[in-house]
């Protein structure tokens, strides 16, 4: 168990904005542990958990899984890693998620990395990925629902942290390499 309080950075942005892609880059250069809430939920679903059917429905419908489930998965993954620098990708997605995480862990994020991306760009990326991803939500019908949930429920979380001066916003429309270059200045203090 680490004696230090964990350092958490929330990585937020719309569906297909490039959160997972850039988290992999950050892990490689700055040694964070990447925890994608969506990946944890998909793994939980496949493990035969009692919540499997509920998670599957929520993902296909672009709805947000209750915090009880997601916060526990995140806490377990943080503890199991034995590390103390985390990129939490795709969470918190609504105010309930945010309040539950803060309450259950006592952790406030160091900052929030926010990928700003127009829907047309995200849609094209997701439809392209859908040709091979096998993800139940990479189809036009689910994508529309994911966008709605993002605008109505997730943007307010970003606004909350913006009010605290914690949001570092980057444009996510350029190449993967260019986007990574634009986020690197936020991580210099974590250079290994
Ligand atoms: N790509 C990436 N960057 C690119 C670039 N700069 N130029 C060109 N192409 C680029 O990227 C998406 C695609 O775009 C890839 O093909 C990539 O190569 C390309 P990716 O890095 O995967 O983007 P990301 O933002 O991670 O997209 P993702 O689809 O994972 O975002 P979502 O937020 O929709 O998905 P997530 O897995 O986080 O959540 C899925 C569902 O789980 C949610 O809708 C919800 O139902 C549920 N969920 C919860 O209920 N609670 C949670 O806390 C989390 C999830
Ligand atoms: Mg992702």
Mean pLDDT in runs of 10 for the chain (192 residues)?
80 98 97 97 97 98 98 98 97 98 98 98 98 98 98 98 98 98 97 81
Q: In degrees, to the nearest 5, what angle opens at C-alpha 85 toward C-alphas 83 and 86?
A: 105
Nearest CA to ligand 1 atom 18: 21
Quote the ligand 1 centre to 18 CA distance (angstroms): 6
Tokens of 72: 């526990």
The per-residue pLDDT for 191 is 86
pLDDT in tens, 163-174: 999 999 999 999
Here the contacts of 150-157 (C-beta below 8 Å, separation 24 or greater) are 150/14, 150/15, 153/64, 153/93, 153/94, 153/95, 154/12, 154/14, 154/93, 154/94, 156/94, 156/95, 157/12, 157/92, 157/93, 157/94, 157/95, 157/97, 157/98
Determine the residue of 8, 19, 23 to mutate for testing ligand 1's pocket, defined as the one with the most ligand atoms within 8 A of the Cβ atom.
Answer: 19
Predicted ipTM beyond 0.85: yes
Q: Using a CB cutoff of 5 Å, list residues around ligand 2, an ion.
A: 19-20
The per-residue pLDDT for 3 is 60
Residues 6+ apart with CB under 8 A from 101: 67, 71, 74, 91, 92, 107
CA 128 to ligand 1: nearest atom = 16
The per-residue pLDDT for 192 is 76
């Amino acid at each position: 168990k680490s004696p230090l309080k964990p350092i958490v950075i929330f990585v937020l942005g719309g569906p297909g904005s490039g959160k997972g892609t850039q988290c992999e880059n950050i892990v490689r250069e700055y040694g964070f542990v990447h925890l994608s809430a969506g990946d944890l939920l998909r793994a939980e679903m496949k493990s035969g958990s009692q919540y499997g059917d509920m998670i599957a429905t929520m993902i296909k419908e672009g709805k947000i899984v209750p915090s009880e489930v997601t916060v526990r998965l995140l806490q377990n993954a943080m503890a199991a890693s034995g590390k103390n620098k985390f990129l939490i990708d795709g969470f918190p997605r609504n105010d309930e998620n945010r309040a539950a995480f803060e309450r259950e862990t006592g952790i406030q994020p160091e900052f929030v990395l926010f990928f700003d991306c127009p829907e047309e760009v995200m849609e094209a990326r997701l439809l392209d990925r859908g040709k091979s991803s096998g993800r139940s939500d990479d189809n036009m019908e689910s994508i529309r629902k994911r966008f709605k949930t993002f605008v109505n429920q997730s943007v307010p979380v970003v606004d909350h942290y913006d009010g605290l001066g914690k949001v570092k916003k980057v444009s996510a429309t350029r190449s993967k390499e260019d986007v990574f270059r634009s986020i690197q200045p936020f991580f210099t203090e974590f250079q290994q």
